[in-house]
Amino acid sequence: MKTTRQHIDEIVREELRRVLHELNPGHDKLGRFASRDDAVTYSLSDRAVRDNKIDPRYAMRGRIASGGYNPEDPKGSVKEVPGANSGPKTAGRQKQTGEPIPPKYSLSQHDKRYSALQEVIAELDTLEANEGFVSVPASLLDRMIQSLMPYLAGETFPEEPMPL
């Protein structure tokens, strides 16, 4: 089979992206990936565990207990959030099964709706400027536009003023 260097690079990048996005169960309060020490929630779907041949005892979602996450005792260090894994207030960006859902409710502050615009702004703050200019990925611009649509349509308003 013949292939190009570009195709191989693309395959490697896709595999890395899959591993990074699916196998990092720690998230910060905005739902972004975080280190074990900085994580406030734990989320690893049944699908991610199954597809990557990981022990099923690691498949769960919830808040990390005050003592921190202990990989030797995952069930003891993660407290399940009632109602966050199924039903009308399912938290996060996917169900526990791995089926994608529109993000509406936060796992770290369950019953509180996500503010997609605040999330995008927080992500924009992490980008580094080069001579006053910032290179913004197209996917982030797309999410920013989608998060602004309800405000532009007059359907909803932010609960708090958005930082500029």
Q: Note the pLDDT of residue 22.
A: 54
- Asked if 53 and 119 sit in the same domain, the reply is no
Residue 17 phi/psi, 5-degree rounding, is -60, -45
> What share of residues in the chain are helix, strand, coil (percent, to 5)?
35, 15, 50
Whether 151 is covered by a domain: the verdict is yes
- Asked if 120 and 79 sit in the same domain, the reply is no
Reported as a single tens digit per residue, the pLDDT across 88-103 is 888 887 888 888 887 7
* Per-residue pLDDT at 20 exceeds 60: no
Whether 97 is covered by a domain: the verdict is no
- Asked if 119 and 78 sit in the same domain, the reply is no
Whether 106 is covered by a domain: the verdict is no
CB 54 within 8 A of CB 19: no
Closest to 105 in 3D by CA, of 120, 85, 124, 135: 85
Domain boundary (43, 63, 83) is at 83
Whether 98 is covered by a domain: the verdict is no
Structural domain including 142 reads: 115-164
Domain boundary (83, 106, 125) is at 83
Give me the amino acid identity at 158: P
Please report, for residues 102, 105, 106, 109, the alpha-carbon distance to residue 112 in angstroms, rounded to integers and kept in the order given: 15, 6, 6, 6
When comparing pLDDT for 112 and 52, which is higher?
52
Whether 144 is covered by a domain: the verdict is yes
Q: For residue 164, what pLDDT band results from cuts at 50, 70 and 90?
A: very low
Whether 90 is covered by a domain: the verdict is no
CB 76 within 8 A of CB 94: no
Mean pLDDT score across all residues of the chain: 77
Question: Of all residues in the chain, what percent carry a pLDDT higher than 90?
Answer: 1
Q: For residue 124, what pLDDT band results from cuts at 50, 70 and 90?
A: confident
- Asked if 79 and 17 sit in the same domain, the reply is yes
Whether 22 is covered by a domain: the verdict is yes
- Asked if 69 and 129 sit in the same domain, the reply is no
Reported as a single tens digit per residue, the pLDDT across 140-151 is 887 777 777 666
In the chain, the number of structural domains is 2
Q: Note the pLDDT of residue 150.
A: 62
- Asked if 66 and 24 sit in the same domain, the reply is yes
* Per-residue pLDDT at 116 exceeds 60: yes
Terminal-to-terminal C-alpha distance of the chain: 52
Report, as an integer, the average pLDDT of 70-81. Answer: 84
Whether 96 is covered by a domain: the verdict is no
When comparing pLDDT for 2 and 62, which is higher?
62
Q: For residue 152, what pLDDT band results from cuts at 50, 70 and 90?
A: low
When comparing pLDDT for 135 and 111, which is higher?
135
